[in-house]
Amino acid sequence: MNAVIRKIGNSEGIILPKELLAGLNLRAGDSVTLIREGDEVRLRRIEDTAEEFERKMKLARERMKKYETVYRALAK
């Protein structure tokens, strides 16, 4: 499958065919990451799984508890 780099506003981008997006279960607004491997570029979906969300929330709670005094002072 070939694609052409096109001018999009002041940037450049690649339009992905809807068949490819449908096959990868991707749609407008989904987050992806680009991985460069030598002369190749891979596209990978960024999935924020429930486990990842819980890990981030645990970290946030720990930091909120650690800096509770500072946060309360700043909230005044």
Give 14-69 pLDDT, tens digit per residue. 999 999 999 988 988 888 999 999 999 998 888 777 788 888 899 999 999 999 99
Please check whether residue 44 is in contact with residue 35, taking contact to mean a CB–CB distance below 8 angstroms.
yes
51 and 39 housed in the same domain = no
CATH number of the CATH domain containing 34 = 2.10.260.10
| Residues contacting 45, CB < 8 A, separation 6+ | 24, 26, 30, 31, 32
What total number of domains does the chain contain?
A: 2
Q: What is the spatial distance between Cα 72 and Cα 67, in angstroms, rounded to a whole number?
A: 9
Please check whether residue 6 is in contact with residue 15, taking contact to mean a CB–CB distance below 8 angstroms.
yes
Q: What is the spatial distance between Cα 65 and Cα 55, in angstroms, rounded to a whole number?
A: 16
pLDDT band per the 50, 70, 90 thresholds, residue 2: confident
- pLDDT for residue 7: 95
| Domain interval for residue 18 | 1-45
